[in-house]
Amino acid sequence: TFHFVALYIGVLLKGTCYLAEEIFHLQSRYHGSFWRALSTCLPLHWHGPMLLICGSAYVALLDGDGQPLSLHLGLASLCQLLVLALGLH
């Protein structure tokens, strides 16, 4: 479950990077529509519910190791940023 959460965090981070680049092309590619650019870069119609399901399953299966959930998610985010930065995806 943690692996799937980490993968979807990676997808969301990658989409956010794409969105940051596409902001400069709003007029030429998306006719000024921020929502079109957002839906192109972050297709949340499928990834959003899957991230919610995986996150809920992770919270439900949390083994109580004493570490806060924010630490686990923060480390997963940092690992995914490292994977994206190194081109290991």
pLDDT per residue as tens digits for the range 22-76? 999 999 999 999 988 888 888 766 666 766 777 777 676 666 666 777 777 787 7
The reported pLDDT for the residue numbered 41 is: 86
What are the residue ranges spanned by the domains of the chain? 1-86
The reported pLDDT for the residue numbered 38 is: 87
The reported pLDDT for the residue numbered 44 is: 66
Query: Residue 18 corresponds to which tokens in the numbers above?
Result: 């794409």
pLDDT per residue as tens digits for the range 1-30? 666 667 777 778 888 889 999 999 999 999
